[in-house]
Chain A
Amino acid sequence: IQLDFWLAPRGLGLPVDVRVPFRSLQAVKAHLEAAGVSYSIMIKDVQALLDEEQTEMRHRSRQLPLSTNTFNYEAYHTIDEIYSFMDMLVDENPNLVSKLEIGRSTENRPLYVLKFSTGGTNRPAIWIDTGIHSREWVTQASGVWFAKKIVQDHANNEGVASILETMDIFLEIVTNPDGFAFTHTTNRMWRKTRSKNSGSICVGVDPNRNWDAGFGDAGASANPCSETYHGPYPNSEPEVKSIVDFVKSHGNIKAFVSIHSYSQLLLYPYGYTNTPAPNAQELHEVSAKAVAALSSLYGTKFQYGSIITTIYRASGSTIDWTYNQGIKYSFTFELRDTGRYGFLLPAKQIVPTAEETWLALKVIMEHARDNMY
Chain B
Amino acid sequence: RAMELPPSHFPAARAAAVAVGYLRYLRGGPGRGLQLRELRRARRQDIDDVGHKYYLELELEDVLDKDRTVSCTAEVLYPLGSQTSAPDVQVTVQGELRSTEEADQEFYNRIRSLQKELVAENIPDSHGNVPPELEPIHLLAWVASGYVIWQNSTENTNFHLAQVKHVQQVKRSDEDLQFDYVVLLHEMVSQEVLPWEVTVLWHPRRGARVSRS
Complex CA–CA separation, A338 to B8 (angstroms): 12
How close is A350's CB to chain B, nearest CB, in angstroms? Answer: 9
Report A-chain residues with C-beta under 8 Å of the C-beta of B36: 338
B124 interface hit (Cβ, 8 Å): yes
Cβ < 8 Å to B, chain A residues 102-126: none
Per-position contact with B for A335-373: 1 when CB-CB < 8 Å, else 0? 000111111111101000000000000000000000000
Task: Give min CB distance, B127 to chain A, whole Å.
Answer: 5
Which listed residue (A228, A312, A347) contacts B128, Cβ 8 A?
A347
Contacts of B128 in A (CB 8 A): 341, 344-347, 349
The answer to whether A346 and B160 touch across the interface, beta carbons within 8 angstroms, is: no
Interface residues of B in 1-41 (CB under 8 A from A): 6, 8-10, 17, 35-36, 38
Nearest chain-B residue to A221 (Cβ)?
B190
Contact of A189 among B127, B161, B162 (CB under 8 A): B162
Interface of B is mostly: loop
The answer to whether A344 and B190 have CB atoms under 8 Å apart is no
Measured CA separation A305–B7 after assembly (Å): 12
For A206, the chain B residues whose CB sits under 8 A away are: 191
In the complex, the answer to whether A304 meets B8 with C-beta atoms within 8 Å is yes
Main secondary structure of the interface of A (DSSP, over half): loop
B162 contacts A344, C-beta separation under 8 Å: yes
**Chain B residues within 8 Å of A301, by CB:** 38
How many Å lie between the Cα of A140 and that of B63 in the bound state?
Answer: 27
Is there contact, CB below 8 Å, between A339 and B9? no
CA distance A347 to B10 in the complex (A): 28
Q: Is B186 an interface residue (CB 8 A)?
A: yes
**Nearest neighbor of A187 in chain B, beta-carbon distance:** B193
**Residue A311 lies at the interface, judged by CB distance under 8 Å to chain B:** yes
B residues in contact with A304, CB < 8 Å = 8
Complexed CA–CA distance, A301 and B10 (Å): 16
* Count of B interface residues, CB-CB < 8 Å: 27
Contact B10 A312 (CB under 8 A): yes
- Is B163 interfacial (CB 8 A cutoff)? yes
Asked if A347 and B127 sit within 8 Å, CB to CB, the answer is yes
CB-CB under 8 A from A75, the residues of chain B are 127
Q: Shortest Cβ distance from B68 into chain A, in angstroms? A: 16
Check A188 for interface membership: any CB of B closer than 8 A.
yes
Contact in complex: A339, B160 (CB < 8 Å):
yes
Contact A305 B186 (CB under 8 A): no
Chain A nearest CB: distance from B116 CB in Å? 27
Kindly list chain B residues whose C-beta atoms are within 8 Å of the C-beta of A183. 126
Do the beta carbons of A303 and B8 come within 8 Å of each other? yes
A310 within 8 Å of B by Cβ? yes
Task: Report chain B residues within 8 Å CB of A303.
Answer: 8-9
Q: State whether B127 touches A76 (Cβ < 8 A).
A: yes
CB closest residue in chain A, given B123: A344
Q: A309-B9, A312-B10 are in contact. Are A342 and B191 (CB under 8 A)?
A: no
0/1 interface trace, chain A 152-178, chain B, CB 8 Å (1 if under):
000000000000000000000000000
B8 touches A339 (CB 8 A): no
Could you tell me if B35 and A344 are in contact, using CB atoms closer than 8 angstroms? no
Q: Which residues of A contact B (CB under 8 A)?
A: 75-76, 137, 183-184, 188-189, 191, 206, 221, 226-228, 263, 301, 303-305, 309-312, 338-347, 349
Q: Give 13 CB contacts A-B under 8 Å.
A: A188-B163, A189-B162, A189-B186, A227-B192, A228-B191, A305-B6, A305-B8, A310-B9, A311-B188, A339-B161, A342-B161, A344-B125, A347-B128
